[in-house]
Structure 1
Amino acid sequence: MSEKKPTSIKRDPDRGKLGGVCAGIANYWGWELWLVRIIAISGLFLSGSLFFWGYIALWIVLDKQAPAKDWQSQVTAQPVHFEIKSQVWKAGQPPRRAFQDIKATFDNLETRLQKLESYVTSKQFSIAREINKL
Structure 2
Amino acid sequence: MTSQRTRFYLDKQNAKWSGVCAGIADYTGMDVTLVRIGVVLMTIMGGFPWTLIAYWIAAATAPRKPLDLYDEAPEEKKFWQGVRANPKRITRDVRSRFRDIDRRLADVEAYVTSSNSRLAREIEQLR
TM-score normalised by structure 2 residue count: 0.50
> Which structure has the bigger radius of gyration?
1
Q: Which has the higher contact order (CA 8 A, sep 6+)?
A: 2
Question: Greater share of helix residues, 1 or 2?
Answer: 2
